[in-house]
Amino acid sequence: MSINFNITREEIFTKLICVTNLGDITPEEEMRLAETIGNVKRPINKRQEELAKKFNVEAEGVMHITKGALFGHKEVLDWHADKPSDKDRASLVWIYAKRGSEGSITSWIDNKKAYEDLPEDIKEKCKHVKFTCGFKKGGYTDDPTFPEHHNKDVVYDLVHTNKYNKVGLFFPFNQIMEGIPNELFEYLKNHILQDKYRYDHHWKDGDLVLSEQWLTLHKRHAFERMDKRLMHRITIE
């Protein structure tokens, strides 16, 4: 049976968030489709290898999330970007709802649009700001899978231009460790959290959300039936 899938790489980098429903497909089919978009990221260090061994499903590169796997707790997983302290972080993330997803919600922020709406003087300030990231308990999750860390060797510009020349804020505020003046930090946080920049996805089994990981943030809302919810994640360069 053929699968109706026509989302392109350029579309994801341009729209930032793309949504479709694939029905019930296998991990091997997921990998085949993901590889039409870009290079699927494989583990490159010891920690990533350990996570892959624990949470990979039948096809290499397809990772279990929730249902007793990565981020399996039922509490909120607050606003974040994937792996901002890794210098080799992926640009795109594939999240596919395998089963038990009905009633759960994930939200995304469009930081391209949020940046476009900033006053010109704030935009100018942002262009000169750099920061570093890490993870601390309570930042966006208390999941014990992740050790606290701060990578001072990877420094980011607050204003980011992605691979298709879309410009916006790279501002994973719950993971930023140092570099942004407090007044500007609070201003930007309040600005991007306005409802007009947010997309709420109400999951159905078979849904696929592809998101660009530089100019968006995402948040998984609390869900009581997390032990029944099985999602697959693929990271794509």
Q: What is the pLDDT of residues 45-91, one digit of tens each?
A: 455 555 555 555 656 678 777 655 556 677 888 999 988 888 888 99
pLDDT at 148: 78
pLDDT (mean) for 96-119: 97
- Give the domains, in start order, of the chain with CATH numbers: 9-236 (3.60.130.10)
Residue 97 has pLDDT above 70, yes or no: yes
pLDDT at 76: 87
* Residue 228 CB coordination number (10 Å): 15
* CA distance linking residue 235 with residue 228, whole number of Å: 23
The string of pLDDT tens digits covering residues 178-207 is 999 999 999 999 999 999 999 999 999 999
pLDDT at 67: 54
Range with the poorest average pLDDT among 58-62, 121-125, 164-168, 180-184: 58-62
Give the list of residues 6+ apart from residue 64 with CB closer than 8 angstroms, or none. Answer: 55, 56, 57, 70, 230, 231, 232, 233
Instruction: Enumerate the β-bridge partners of residue 131.
Output: 156
pLDDT (mean) for 8-28: 96
Residue 128 has pLDDT above 70, yes or no: yes
CA 3 to chain centre: 25
Residue 144 has pLDDT above 70, yes or no: no
Q: Grade residue 4 by pLDDT with cuts at 50, 70 and 90.
A: confident
Type of residue found at 231: M
In sequence order, what E strands does the chain have? 17-21, 63-65, 77-80, 92-99, 105-110, 130-135, 149-157, 159-161, 167-169, 176-178, 198-202, 207-212, 216-220, 230-236
The string of pLDDT tens digits covering residues 150-159 is 889 999 999 9
pLDDT at 44: 47
